[in-house]
């Protein structure tokens, strides 16, 4: 199956990046503006309160300065009308100067309405100030207020009655200016932050997102793997990790594709092979009737081997249909399986490769005999192939012992030991083959079968030359201590 066929078979929805207003940039832009405005609102109250105080103090000092001068002049020097006009210019309705306990009215216009509020500028608490300022801004206007405070550092106190309108107008102008300024500042800040963040983060995040979307759309295309960044920050690390993940995923997909193709091919070959083997099986059955002692000795082995081959082919077909190996476990002696392995590998001592089946004839194992044979056969065949390739002869040994409910089986040889590639990819299908002609399935199959029996398999590291695999087959324990068949 080609890649394009694979794509056509599994169409995927095209996913795209976030829209303009759903993106991170738009969110950050809006949030920055909001936060700056919020900060401005928080500082607005104290600053308008300070502005109000300043405004009143300015008025009081202006009135005090004029008042002190007028006070020093003789009444004749300045007509009363001019004096009042001078002092009242700022919207004041009455001005008095107090010193040494004496109060002197400097100027006044007729006051008909009652005074609404009195403020002592020297002794006002900041919180009260803010409350008053806010109140004035929101609801003030046509009131008459009285404010007094000291004149500079002197003991004199200037006291003034004035209309609030001018103060409120000034406060409104100040508030408007501040609002405009706030909007301007928030716009400038948000834009600057936006560009900075876009450059430092969002642009790069966008690249990562685009790469993920692109890769998801066609994971088989090597051009879609992200070119990783080299920096040391979090996004660079993320980009390197993503790139590595995509590379791994692509390799895995490629492997799976190969496996699927291989599986299909094997199933086809296997299907016909089963038929051929079945014919051979039929023919070999007839050998049992031949009286020749030579034929009598090998015919049962031949028939058993053919039976096994037919069995395997059936299993491969079943595996192709994704059904797991069904174990037919029983308590069986291990020794006959070991002898079968020896015979199957043709290990009769010729060629310098010796076989030692060090298994107690009474040792029983709770296993599927055919599958356990496959485990032993694969391990012993590897050992045989390793020794054979060296050409110097050697020893293959299968030993076993029972420890309570677990049978521990060892398959060892004194050959060259595992190559690095085989060691690094131990038990992984297709990866571990380190000899020419090897498919790298033997150890993977052995491991799967051992695990299916509930056991474990491992490579035992040791000083001696050669290789030692050890695996366990635990008994199936059933309630009442018996065995299930």
Ligand X SMILES: Nc1ncnc2c1ncn2[C@@H]1O[C@H](COP(=O)(O)OP(=O)(O)OP(=O)(O)O)[C@@H](O)[C@H]1O
Judged by beta carbon, residue 35 or residue 430, the one nearer Mg ion is 430
Q: How far is the CB of 230 from ligand X (least distance, A)?
A: 38
The pair of structure tokens assigned to 217 is 């759309």
The pair of structure tokens assigned to 254 is 């490629």
Please report whether residue 382 would count as binding ligand X according to CB under 6 A. Answer: yes
Judged by beta carbon, residue 440 or residue 474, the one nearer ligand X is 440
Please report whether residue 418 would count as binding ligand X according to CB under 6 A. Answer: yes
Judged by beta carbon, residue 202 or residue 443, the one nearer ligand X is 443
The option from Mg ion, ligand X, none interacting with 178 (CB < 5 to 8 A, set by class) reads none
Q: Which residues between 374 and 413 bind Mg ion (CB under 5 A)? A: 382
The option from Mg ion, ligand X, none interacting with 439 (CB < 5 to 8 A, set by class) reads ligand X
| Cβ neighbours around 375 below 10 Å, total | 28
Judged by beta carbon, residue 149 or residue 442, the one nearer Mg ion is 442
Contact status, residue 152 vs residue 21, Cβ threshold 8 Å: no
Measured between alpha carbons, how far is 384 from 196 in angstroms, rounded to an integer? 67
* Beta strand pairing call for 394-403 and 406-413: antiparallel
DSSP 64-125: HHHHHHHHHS-GGGS-HHHHHHHHHTTSEEEEEEEETTEEEEEEE----SPP-EEEEGGG--
Please report whether residue 432 would count as binding ligand X according to CB under 6 A. Answer: yes
Please report whether residue 442 would count as binding Mg ion according to CB under 5 A. Answer: yes
The option from Mg ion, ligand X, none interacting with 333 (CB < 5 to 8 A, set by class) reads none
Judged by beta carbon, residue 140 or residue 415, the one nearer ligand X is 415
Q: How far is the CB of 432 from ligand X (least distance, A)?
A: 4
In DSSP terms, which residues pair with 331 in a beta bridge?
366
Beta strands in 309-352, from DSSP E residues, in sequence order = 330-333
Please report whether residue 162 would count as binding ligand X according to CB under 6 A. Answer: no
Contact status, residue 427 vs residue 443, Cβ threshold 8 Å: yes
Measured between alpha carbons, how far is 456 from 471 in angstroms, rounded to an integer? 6
Please report whether residue 409 would count as binding ligand X according to CB under 6 A. Answer: no
Measured between alpha carbons, how far is 214 from 377 in angstroms, rounded to an integer? 47
From 310, 443, 450, 473, residue interacting with ligand X (rule: CB under 6 A) = 443
Q: How far is the CB of 367 from ligand X (least distance, A)?
A: 20
Query: Quick one: which segment of 2-10, 113-121, 198-206, 435-443 binds Mg ion (CB under 5 A)?
Result: 435-443
The option from ligand X, Mg ion, none interacting with 434 (CB < 5 to 8 A, set by class) reads ligand X
Cβ neighbourhood burial of 272 (10 Å; 0-12, 13-18, 19+) = exposed
Judged by beta carbon, residue 442 or residue 474, the one nearer ligand X is 442
Q: How far is the CB of 433 from Mg ion (least distance, A)?
A: 8
As a whole number of angstroms, the longest Cα–Cα distance in the chain is 163
The residues binding Mg ion (CB under 5 A) are 382, 442
């Amino acid at each position: 199956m080609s890649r394009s066929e694979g794509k056509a078979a599994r169409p995927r929805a095209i996913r795209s990046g976030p829209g303009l207003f759903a993106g991170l940039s738009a969110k950050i832009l809006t949030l920055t503006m909001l936060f700056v405005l919020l900060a401005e609102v928080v500082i607005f109250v104290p600053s308008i309160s300070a502005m109000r105080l300043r405004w009143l103090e300015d008025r009081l000092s202006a009135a005090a300065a004029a008042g002190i001068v007028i006070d020093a002049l003789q009444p004749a020097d300045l007509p009363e009308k001019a004096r009042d006009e001078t002092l009242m210019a700022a919207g004041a309705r009455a001005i008095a100067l107090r010193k040494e306990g004496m109060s002197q009215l400097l100027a006044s216009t007729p006051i008909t309405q009652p005074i609404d509020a009195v403020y002592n500028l020297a002794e006002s608490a900041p919180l009260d100030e803010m409350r008053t300022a806010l109140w004035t801004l929101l609801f003030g206007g046509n009131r008459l207020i009285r404010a007094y405070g000291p004149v500079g550092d002197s003991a004199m106190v200037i006291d003034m009655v004035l209309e609030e309108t001018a103060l409120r107008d000034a406060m409104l102008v100040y508030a408007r200016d501040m609002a405009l300024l706030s909007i301007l500042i928030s716009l400038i800040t948000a834009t600057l932050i936006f560009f900075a963040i876009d450059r430092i983060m969002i642009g790069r995040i966008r690249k990562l997102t685009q790469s993920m979307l692109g890769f998801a759309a066609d994971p088989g295309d090597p051009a879609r793997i992200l070119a990783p960044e080299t920096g040391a920050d979090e996004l660079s690390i993320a980009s390197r990790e993503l790139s590595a993940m995509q590379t791994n995923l692509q390799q895995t997909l490629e492997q799976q594709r190969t496996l699927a193709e291989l599986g299909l091919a094997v199933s086809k070959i296997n299907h016909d092979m089963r038929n051929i083997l079945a014919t051979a099986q039929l023919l070999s059955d007839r050998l049992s009737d031949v009286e020749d002692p030579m034929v009598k000795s090998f015919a049962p082995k031949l028939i058993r081997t053919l039976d096994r081959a037919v069995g395997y082919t059936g299993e491969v077909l079943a595996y192709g249909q994704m059904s797991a190996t069904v174990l037919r476990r029983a308590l069986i002696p291990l020794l006959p399986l070991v002898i079968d392995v020896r015979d199957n590998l043709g290990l009769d001592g010729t060629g310098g490769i010796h076989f030692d089946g060090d298994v107690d004839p009474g040792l029983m194992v709770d296993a599927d005999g055919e599958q356990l044979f496959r485990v032993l056969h694969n391990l012993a065949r590897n050992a045989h192939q390793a020794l054979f390739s060296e050409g110097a002869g050697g020893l293959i040994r299968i030993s076993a012992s029972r420890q309570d409910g677990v049978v521990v089986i060892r398959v060892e040889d004194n050959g060259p030991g595992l190559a690095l590639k085989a060691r690094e990819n131990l038990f992984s299908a297709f990866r571990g083959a380190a000899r020419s002609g090897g498919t790298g399935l033997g150890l993977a199959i052995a491991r799967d079968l051992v695990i299916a029996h509930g056991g474990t398999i491992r490579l035992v590291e040791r000083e001696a030359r050669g290789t030692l695999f050890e695996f366990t087959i635990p008994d199936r324990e059933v309630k009442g201590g018996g065995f299930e068949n």
